[in-house]
Amino acid sequence: MTAAGTSVQVKLLDPRFGDQWPLPNYATESSAGMDLRAALDAPLTLEPGDAALVPSGISIYMHDPQLCAIVLPRSGLGHRHGIVLGNGTGLIDADYQGPLLISAWNRGQEAFVIQPGDRIAQLVVLPIVRVSLQVVDTFTDSARGAGGFGHTGIR
């Protein structure tokens, strides 16, 4: 389900979409991301520590400067098989129109084979807030202050 009036243009770069593979879509009514597939011509083996740019077979154009998209790993692949994104998160600006590539990285201990059409990442569209920076000498006090990593403890 999309918000009223919100749409993103998609260009299909691989003819298997619509025939062998469905277009990226939301798996459930409450899904935040759409799965991206590996538009490969042949299986790709990622040995432990290997990374590869995997084509998604699509490009998108959001046009609206108040939107961006992020490419995120699929949690099951990361937890069970060690397949995450080589760059952590991919950011797609609203004016980008090129192919979406997925930086797949095997941080696991065993080789992993990506088959053509496998769902290997997800695409999430987010609103953007642009801010102006105001230079100050000190900040207004906050409850957290400068407390950094782990400052509230574990329990």
Question: Is residue 117 annotated as involved in ligand binding?
Answer: no
- 90 a known binding residue? no
Instruction: List for the chain the helix, strand, coil content (%; round to 5).
Output: 5, 40, 55
92 is in an annotated binding site: yes
The residues near 98 (Cβ < 8 Å, ≥ 6 apart) are 59
Q: Are 83 and 46 in contact (CB under 8 A)?
A: yes
For residue 91, say whether it is annotated as part of any ligand binding site: yes
130 labeled part of a ligand binding site: no
Q: Is 87 annotated as a binding residue?
A: yes
74 is in an annotated binding site: yes
Residue positions in the annotated binding site?
A: 74-76, 87, 91-93
Residue positions in the annotated binding site for substrate?
A: 74-76, 87, 91-93
